Amino acid sequence: MIITIDGPAGSGKSTVARELAKALGIAFLDTGATYRAVTLAALRRNLDMTDEHALADLAAAVDLTLTPTDDGTRVTLDGDDVSRDIRTARVSEQSYYVARSGIIRAVLVTLQRRLGDALGSFVTEGRDQGSVVFPHATVKFYLDASPEIRARRRLADLAAAGEPADYDAVLAAITQRDTRDRTRPDGPLVKPDHAVVVDTSNQTIQQVTVTMLEHVRSLTR
């Protein structure tokens, strides 16, 4: 069983994907972590972030592992645990250069499919999972929420990670990421055909998970 969850930053995808995977007893794949890890690797090497070919070579060369844990995913980059380092605001912002490139996306899409094959049944989340990476998924979801609510969520995440930020700056960053995610030519954020749309603005994670779980069960019963 392959379940895809796509949606903009802060729509609740990661948490819901983890909860759904747990409830179904299957694995969870965080594809944003692959873009983040390559971004971090490039920043650590002081690469020119506008040099698409250098970034693509790096994406193909790094040794990246994603291991499910109780509360998320343990990510290693060339053997180094970067699970926390890939979540900084700087990596979020700079990941744009990695995500916008068709040649880098091709490398990461291949990696994501290989990770998926190894997992068997899984819930995957990102921007292009139902549209590009796993078009034959069993069930596809598209999660959304208003930009203001997503900014409040991001603010809380950053504060919890010890990176307090300003609401207006976070909202502006979210709006900019939305535009960038939706307008890139390769793997843009889209609602996949036949995807079930869930607006998470005024629902708790538990409510969203229950709705999605019922949907999966009704389709696979």
Residue found by looking up tokens 């995913």 in the block? 73
The answer to whether 150 contacts ligand C5P (rule: CB under 6 A) is no
Give the integer Cα–Cα distance in Å for 208 and 79: 35
Yes or no: say if 118 and 60 are a contact pair by the CB < 8 Å rule. Answer: no
- 36 binds ligand C5P, rule: CB under 6 A: yes
Q: How far is CA 152 from CA 25, 33, 38, 65, 171, in A?
A: 31, 22, 27, 31, 8
- Under a CB-based contact definition with an 8 Å cutoff, are residues 87 and 161 in contact? yes
35 binds ligand C5P (CB under 6 A): yes
**Of 54-62, 89-97, 153-161, 199-207, which segment contacts ligand C5P by CB under 6 A?**
89-97
Binding mask 90-129 for ligand C5P (x = CB under 6 A): --x--xx--x--------------------------xxxx
From candidates 4, 31, 73, 131, binder to ligand C5P by CB under 6 A: 31
Question: CB of residue 31 vs ligand C5P: minimum separation in angstroms?
Answer: 4
Cα gap 75→38, rounded to integer Å = 11
Binding site for ligand C5P (CB under 6 A): 9, 31-32, 35-36, 92, 95-96, 99, 126-129, 181, 187
